[in-house]
Amino acid sequence: MTTMKRTWSVLGATLLALACSDGFFFEPPTGTADLAVAFDASAANVSAATLVSAFDKADQARIAMRRSSGTPVLDTIVPFNPGNPAVELALSFTVPEEGETFALVGELLSQGEVVFQGETTVTLAPDRSTTAELVIEPMVTGIVAPPSLTFDALFDTAAAPVYGLFSTGDSIPDIEVQWAILDLEVVELAPSGALVSVGEGSTQAIAQSGAFADTTDIVVAAVVDAVVVSPDLVNADVDQEIQFSATALDRNGNALSREASWSVDDEGVALIDSDGLLLTVEEGTATVTAEIEGEQGTAQLTVTREVPLVASVTVEPDPAEVFLGGTTQFQAIPRDNQGAQLTGRPVEWS
């Protein structure tokens, strides 16, 4: 925590002690007291340089005191010199001889605007010198959030640092704010306070601190980082239809809703339409490519003609008549399961 102390003195404060009780009145002797106010400028998230800069621009000090009953006894503004903070005031108000505790409010102002403010209690008694330790904190006169924020992937997180402003123009970094997001289908708020992109689109996030607010315009426009084609390896017959699909991924691996353009590197083997429906034409190999926003994904295709299986074999002639010592020629005719004759099949005889 950054702290700095300057002492501002109220010297020669005349305290007139008066008391009334049960119908009699007495006036004890008048005493004087010295009141010194020690300003302790403190902020956990403000640098010493920023505190000094704002403190040194203060040109007035306001001191207000009130009794425990709430009755005000002092509220005055006097010139303030940060380099020589001693200020002399003459005070005259009644206190018991044993002393009285007051609420003390102190402010430092710059050009009429409050820069620091603090509150404490102080006990004053006649003929005593008292020092009040007054912790003053920076007073925000406005906040500034990032004007815009763009996400290029889903489920990314980004901090949106918000800083406060003194009336002097000095900044207070990383102040605590409450965020309100207009469209939670685009951006959500993480427990850490960071913003998380959950869907593509645009929205606004409003940062609020006390009476001050500022708005950040947010766009989630995921960039395609990779394209995955499915199926990625296909063995097919001639004159067969195959439906391909393509999925675009961002750099976090999230699927994106995108349209692909399709192509085949050898249209003598297969043809493909704009929806990814492929028709095999002839035997061979080909590469199927899907392109989305400049990124490509591929699948490998092998096309062969189907070789029908032999379901039965017919031997002719059947029956065959062969004379003793004679020969005859037999023929084997393979057929598929539809009874169609097959050619070019090797035959083993026994």
Instruction: Enter the tokens of residue 138.
Output: 């920076």
* Cis previous bond, 191, omega within 30: no
Q: Which of 306, 291, 290 is nearest to 342 (CA)?
A: 306
Q: What is the DSSP string of 112-123?
A: TEEEEEEEEEEE
Instruction: Enter the tokens of residue 217.
Output: 């315009």
Cα separation, 244 vs 229, whole angstroms: 7
Same fold across 2-138 and 142-220: yes
Determine whether domain 2-138 maps to CATH 2.60.40: yes
Residue 248 pairs in a beta bridge with: 227, 256
- pLDDT given for residue 31 in this prediction: 52
Cα angle for residues 60, 66, 69 (degrees, 5° grid): 165
- pLDDT given for residue 94 in this prediction: 64
Cα separation, 287 vs 244, whole angstroms: 12
Q: What is the DSSP string of 77-99?
A: EEE--TTS--EE-----B--TT-
Cα separation, 201 vs 222, whole angstroms: 9
Q: Where are the domains of the chain?
A: 2-138, 142-220, 226-304, 309-350
* Cis previous bond, 147, omega within 30: no
Q: What is the CA radius of gyration of the chain?
A: 45
Cα separation, 86 vs 10, whole angstroms: 7
The CATH number of 226-304 is which of 2.60.40.10, 3.30.43.10, 3.40.50.970, 1.20.140.10?
Answer: 2.60.40.10
- pLDDT in 10s for each residue of the chain, 350 residues: 555 544 444 443 333 333 332 333 334 444 555 677 777 776 655 667 777 777 888 888 898 989 888 989 888 888 887 776 555 555 556 667 777 888 999 898 888 888 888 899 988 877 777 777 888 887 878 899 999 999 999 999 999 999 888 777 777 777 788 999 999 999 999 998 899 999 999 999 999 988 889 999 999 999 999 999 999 999 998 999 999 999 999 999 999 999 999 999 999 999 999 999 999 999 999 999 999 999 999 999 999 987 778 888 888 777 877 777 778 787 888 888 877 777 777 888 87
Q: Is 311 within 8 Å of 330 (Cβ atoms)? A: no
Q: What is the DSSP string of 242-296?
A: EE-EEEEE-TT--EE----EEEES-TTTEEE-TTSEEEE-SSEEEEEEEEETTEE
* Cis previous bond, 319, omega within 30: yes
Q: How many residues does the chain have?
A: 350
Residue 28 three-state SS: coil
The CATH number of 142-220 is which of 3.30.300.180, 2.30.110.10, 2.60.40.1080, 3.20.19.10?
Answer: 2.60.40.1080
Q: Tokens 């070019």 label which residue?
A: 344
- Whole-model pTM? 0.61
